[in-house]
Chain A
Amino acid sequence: MASGVKPRVKVPKTAAAGDTVTLKTLISHKMESGQRKDGDGNLIPRSIINRFTCDFNGKSVIDVTLESAISTNPYFEFDAIVDAAGDFKFTWYDDDGDVYETTKSIKVA
């Protein structure tokens, strides 16, 4: 499931130093749970994103372990403290070994 995976991230463009900002992330992914059966009654193998991390200037914000009970197109919303301008780095780890990455910069006003 390496096709059509598109991460989308919402980060404010600017923040005051020391502010807490809310980050929203969504990645398009089937998140096949391994519980469903196809038309012939065969189990469809599990294929999910098993880990998501967010770093700000190298410091960890959140590290999520995902199980098969996370919905299709995994969505996360969480908060981060912005002490200086920098980059948020978002990383998703797929069951099949693929890693999807995206970065967003934030300025301190």
Chain B
Amino acid sequence: MKFTRRDALAIGLGATAVAMLPMRASAAVDEAIAAFTGGAEVGAGDITLTAPEIAENGNTVPVSVDAPGAASILVLASGNPTPGVAKFTFGEAAGSQSASTRIRLAGTQDVVAIAQMADGSFIQASSTVKVTIGGCGG
């Protein structure tokens, strides 16, 4: 097989397009995070995000978050067409700052959880989920 200049150009363009895709997704995630934190720095801390390593069906992926002392927890799916998943706000009668639900994932991606602590600081955790069949009907 001959490797022509036209081929090289096509490969180069393809690689650029592939590199652009995750960048666009992460921009939306950054926006969602900034809207939640108001630009404050997000550190690490006592927050647990439990998600399966491999999800066969992206339509229902069980996830749970647990952040003792959190006022609210935001869950984002970085690879979805819209990154927002859910925001849990805990009230005074909450027994623990944890919750479980089932979410949709469009494909293999990182799921991110950010907790706002009672003192106003933010901590985050993330987990990579491999999805065999995506759940966005695309």
Majority SS at the chain B contact face: strand
Q: Report Cα–Cα, A60/B84, bound state, in Å.
A: 23
Asked if B85 lies at the interface with its beta carbon under 8 angstroms from chain A, I say: yes
Task: Answer whether residue A74 sits at the interface, using C-beta atoms and an 8 A cutoff.
Answer: yes
Asked whether A101 is an interface residue with its Cβ less than 8 Å from the other chain, the reply is: no
Verify B93–A80 contact, CB threshold 8 A.
Answer: yes
Query: What distance in Å separates the Cβ of B80 from its nearest Cβ neighbour in chain A?
Result: 5
Residues in A whose Cβ lies below 8 Å from that of B93: 55-57, 59-61, 80-81
Shortest C-beta distance, B61 to chain A (Å), equals 8
Tell whether A70 pairs with B103 under 8 Å between CB atoms, given A35-B81, A63-B89: yes
Set of chain A residues within 8 Å of B84, measured between Cβ atoms = 67-69
Q: Is A47 an interface residue (CB 8 A)?
A: no
Interface size counted on chain A using CB atoms at 8 A = 32
Binds A, one of B12-20, B39-47, B94-102, B123-131: B94-102
Q: Let me know if B37 is at the binding interface, CB within 8 A.
A: no
Separation of A57 and B91 alpha carbons in the complex (Å): 12
Which residues of chain B (93-116) have a CB below 8 Å from chain A?
93-96, 98-105
Please, which residue of chain B has its CB at the minimum distance from the CB of A63? B89
Interface check A64, CB cutoff 8 A: yes
7 A-B residue pairs with CB within 8 Å: A20-B96, A33-B136, A35-B136, A61-B93, A76-B100, A78-B100, A79-B95
